[in-house]
Amino acid sequence: MTVSIKEIQQPISEEMGIFEGKFRSYMKTRVRLLNNILNYTLKRKGKQMRPILVFLSAGLHGEISEASYRGAALIELLHTATLVHDDVVDDSNYRRGFFSINALWKNKIAVLIGDYLLSRGLLLSIDHEDFHLLKIVSNAVKEMSEGELLQIEKARRLDITEDVYFEIIRQKTATLISACCAVGAASAGATKEVVDKMHEMGNKIGIAFQIKDDLFDYGTDEVGKPLGIDIKEKKMTLPLIYALENTSWLKRKEIILKIRLQSNNPKVVQEIIEFVRDSGGLEYATDVMNQYIKEANDILLSFPESSYRESIQQFIAFVTQRKK
Domains of the chain, with CATH numbers? 5-321 (1.10.600.10)
Contact in structure between 183 and 74 (CB atoms under 8 Å): yes
CA distances from 65 to 68, 131, 172 (A): 5, 16, 29
What distance in Å separates the CA atoms of residue 164 and residue 141, rounded to the nearest whole number? 19
User: What was the pLDDT predicted at 220?
Assistant: 52
Q: Would you state the pLDDT for residue 96?
A: 66
pLDDT for the residue numbered 224: 45
* pLDDT value of position 223: 47
What confidence score (pLDDT) does residue 253 get?
92
Own/partner contacts of 134-142, CB < 8 Å, gap of 24 or more, are 134/74, 136/179, 136/182, 136/183, 136/186, 136/195, 136/199, 137/71, 137/74, 137/75, 137/78, 137/179, 137/183, 139/175, 139/179, 140/75, 140/78, 140/175, 140/176, 140/178, 140/179, 141/78, 141/82
Q: How confident is the model at residue 148, as a pLDDT? A: 85
Cβ count near 159 (within 10 Å): 11
Helices (H), ranges, 128-191: 131-155, 162-169, 175-187
- Residue 222: per-residue pLDDT: 47
E strands, the chain, in order: 94-95, 98-99
Q: With a cut of 50, which residues of the chain have pLDDT below it?
A: 222-225
